[in-house]
Amino acid sequence: MQESLFPMDPPNDVKADVRAGQVIASTHAQSPVLPFPSAAETRDLASALPREIRLGTSSWGFPGWAGLVWADVYTTKQLARDGLPAYACHPLLRTVSLDRAFYKPLSAHEYASLAAQVPDDFRFVVKAPSAISDAMVRDHGRGLQRNATFLDPIAAAHEFVQPALDGLGPKLGALVFQLSPLPSSMLLRIPELLESLATMLAALPPLRPTAPDGVVAVEVRNAELMTAELAAVLKAAGATYCLGLHAKMPGISDQLPMLRALWPAPLVARWNLHQRHGAYGYDSAKDLYEPFDRLLDPDPETRAILSQVMAATAAAHLPVYVTINNKAEGSAPLSVEALAEAVRERHILRTDPHPVPKR
């Protein structure tokens, strides 16, 4: 499973520069970001996947992907600014999560600029701004006060969904409302929360006329919200549950009932953080995994179950969007490769009418 996507290793000096953190800005700051040439095996793997399946990563500005995605070592700043076209050249990377939209709303012009950099078959997964999806106003992760625009229907429609539609057009894939961890006082009033969520979802402009592959998904970070009532709200709105693979949440097997309750539905999954790091382990995972060029913590159980759900959802001709963070296994591009291999092995599941494995 851990064979390299690219049989040719990057030059040793490139590897050494990345591992030592010596990204040489003066050499490449003015040069274009070039893609690492894909091997025939990579192209064959990509062509073996159902077209409904789109795999990608959480953002793309990582110098450590030199020799995996990038042809050379570039700075984080240059990759963030100029790396998307090279990223989209990778045969397996047909989507990407625009995580920065969570921190600041993007304009239609900014979305259009991104859309112009990728092929017609590329789709974006976009996180809703925290001003809409987080119940608290936070500073360095700490909730300071209640957020007055949490699940606000007008803000969601006009500051998130409509600009994304206008800018991305048919390249819009999934719009994800990641509901950040809720304060205990709100968890005591879940019916009120679900009513607010239903009101917001009902107010959103329709995606399909502009983005035929568009999906609205809701991700939660409190297990208490994984209920039949949430599934009913999502189903009534034509939205789906985002499979959030994060140490704050139960493992993938325990989240499958939500998918069963919504079937048939598109699959949106965000594989964010390995369970070994715990609910607040992002920083420790980053320290352990940088420069994100190796699979240090393979998670074959998650990969096996996720690949089965992906293959069967695609067999029903429904969209599949899966994005992976470096902190899931150590290197998002290599996780994408391993997951694609697992889906290919389950090719026979294209005819299986049951999308979710039995526990």
The secondary structure of 185-249, three-state, reads HHHCCHHHHHHHHHHHHHHCCCCCCCCCCCEEEEEECCHHHCCHHHHHHHHHHCCEEEEEECCCC
pLDDT digits (tens, 9 = 90+) for 158-173: 999 999 999 999 999 9
325 vs 59: CA distance, rounded Å = 8
The CATH number of whichever domain residue 339 belongs to comes to 3.20.20.410
For residue 54, is it within any domain?
Answer: yes
Distances (CA, A) of 304 to 67, 253, 341, 345: 26, 11, 10, 10
Please report, for residues 135, 166, 289, the alpha-carbon distance to residue 162 in angstroms, rounded to integers and kept in the order given: 22, 6, 37
Helix, strand, coil percent content, the chain, rounded in steps of 5: 45, 15, 40
Which SS3 state, helix, strand or coil, does residue 183 take?
Answer: coil
State the sign of the Cα–Cα–Cα–Cα dihedral 345, 350, 356, 359: negative
Domain membership of residue 217 (yes or no) is: yes
Indicate the length of the chain as a whole number: 359
Phi-psi map region of 278: left, alpha, beta (phi>0 left; psi -120 to 50 alpha) = left
> Does some domain include residue 277?
yes
Report yes or no on 229 lying in a domain: yes
Please, which residues have CB within 8 angstroms of residue 87's CB and are 6 or more apart in sequence?
35, 60, 69, 93, 96
Q: For the chain, where are the E strands, in sequence order?
A: 53-58, 93-98, 123-127, 136-139, 142-146, 172-179, 215-220, 240-245, 267-271, 320-324
**Considering the domain boundaries, does residue 359 fall inside one?**
no
The whole-model pTM stands at 0.89
Q: Which amino acid is at 107?
A: S
pLDDT tens for the 359 residues of the chain, in order:
333 322 334 444 444 444 434 443 434 455 699 999 999 999 999 999 999 999 999 999 999 999 999 999 999 999 999 999 999 999 999 999 999 999 999 999 999 999 999 999 999 999 999 999 999 986 655 556 889 999 999 999 999 999 999 999 999 999 999 999 999 999 999 999 999 999 999 999 999 999 999 999 999 999 999 999 999 999 999 999 999 999 899 999 999 999 999 999 999 999 999 888 877 777 889 999 999 999 999 999 999 999 999 999 999 999 999 999 999 999 999 999 999 999 999 864 454 444 555 54
Tokens of 153: 């229907």
Q: Which residues contact 109 (CB under 8 A, 6 or more apart)?
A: 167
> Closest Cα partner for 299 from 358, 251, 243, 249?
251
pLDDT value of position 140: 56
Q: Is 86:38 a contact under the CB 8 Å cutoff?
A: no
Is residue 7 one of the residues assigned to a domain?
no
Phi, psi of 12 (to 5 degrees): -60, -35
How far apart, in whole angstroms, are the C-alpha atoms of residue 242 and residue 326?
A: 19
> Tokens 């600014």 sit at which residue?
81
How far CA 263 is from CA of 54, 226, 227, 233, 260, in Å, comes to 19, 15, 15, 14, 5
Number of compact structural domains in the chain: 1
β 215-220/172-179 pair status: parallel
Q: What is the pLDDT of residue 104?
A: 94
Does 6 fall in a domain?
Answer: no
Residue 1 lies in a domain: no
Q: What amino acid occupies position 119?
A: P
User: Mapping DSSP to helix (H, G, I), strand (E, B) and coil, where does residue 66 land?
Assistant: strand
